Amino acid sequence: MNKGGPMKQHETMVALVVSTGHVTEQEAQTFSNADAIHELNIGLFVGEYGWLMHVGERGDPIPRGLSEGLMGVIEYAWNEDLQWVRFDNDGQILPGIKTYDW
């Protein structure tokens, strides 16, 4: 609790929120498997309705073999200088980026 002293600055996080439809069914299954997530070596947090993924900055290593839709979302986040993406069942579809019906 602040007792009249100067306010402390806290780090905040901003995430791009997009539809889970931008990932393939296979990627969705992988993201829901703790062992598979570990093998991918990415920061991924699983929630009830999707995932929160750390995509880092342009030039950071990313796993090979990601779908066109997922790579499109990552590129979009990088272009917006965002390092986090939240994939949500009710998230928006990004125009021009591939989606998958599963």
Q: Where are the domains of the chain?
A: 15-88
> Rounded CA gap, 91 and 20, in Å?
7
DSSP letter for 22, please.
G
**Nearest residue to 20 (alpha-carbon basis) of 77, 100, 87:** 87
pTM: 0.82
* pLDDT of res. 30: 86
* pLDDT of res. 38: 61
Write out the chain's pLDDT in tens, 102 residues.
Answer: 556 667 778 888 889 999 999 999 999 988 887 666 666 667 788 888 889 998 988 888 888 889 999 999 999 999 999 999 999 999 999 999 999 998
Classify 74 as helix, strand or coil. helix
